[in-house]
């Protein structure tokens, strides 16, 4: 599955949850997306939930902005440099991000970056429409 396919499928799962929570306040929706609650109440939202494993090692992980709004991707390649196809990168060059290279392809490794999983960040960029948040910064919406 490519980035775009995953992104669209994930956005649909996200919308289904937010629609179910439409009676809650914005803060209550953000709280609902806390890792511990999501593992318990939305086990199909993330494949890591089955292992009770976090994608980012942090105490208060919030899953509302899974797929960071600064993550740029193109399944065909964003750019080509030194014989390598760059398929993803960070638009703000976060100091905690790195890259993984294999078979001539470079992918962004965001596992050390916790920015989009902090509730203060989520509140700053919050919209009940996940695609709206992502469309402000993502290439493919």
- Give the model confidence (pLDDT) of 20-59 as tens digits: 999 999 999 999 999 999 999 999 999 999 999 998 888 9
The whole domain housing 115 covers 3-135
Are 86 and 69 within 8 A, CB to CB? no
Query: Quick check: is 140 in a domain?
Result: no
Helix (H/G/I), strand (E/B), else coil: 129: coil
Per DSSP, helices labelled H in 35-103 are 35-41
Query: Quick check: is 127 in a domain?
Result: yes
Q: Which two tokens stand for residue 110?
A: 């965001």
Number of domains in the chain: 1
pLDDT band of residue 85 (cuts 50, 70, 90) is very high
Comparing 65-74, 99-108, 116-125, the range with the smallest average pLDDT is 65-74
Query: Quick check: is 82 in a domain?
Result: yes
Q: Which two tokens stand for residue 18?
A: 């937010």
What's the distance, CA 83 to chain centroid?
Answer: 28
Q: Look at residue 14 and tell me whether its pLDDT is greater than 90.
A: yes
């Amino acid at each position: 599955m490519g980035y775009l396919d995953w992104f669209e499928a994930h956005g649909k799962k996200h919308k289904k949850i937010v629609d179910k929570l439409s009676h809650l306040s914005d803060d209550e929706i953000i709280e609902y997306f806390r890792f511990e609650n999501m593992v318990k109440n939305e086990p199909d939202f993330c494949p890591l939930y089955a292992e009770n494993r976090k994608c980012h090692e942090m105490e208060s992980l919030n899953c509302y902005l899974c797929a960071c709004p600064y993550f740029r991707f193109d399944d065909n390649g964003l750019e080509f440099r030194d014989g390598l196809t760059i398929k993803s990168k960070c638009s703000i060059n976060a100091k905690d991000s790195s890259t993984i290279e294999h078979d001539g392809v470079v992918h962004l490794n965001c596992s050390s970056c916790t920015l989009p999983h902090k509730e203060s960040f989520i509140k700053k960029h919050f919209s009940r429409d996940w695609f709206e948040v992502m469309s402000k910064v993502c290439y493919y919406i």
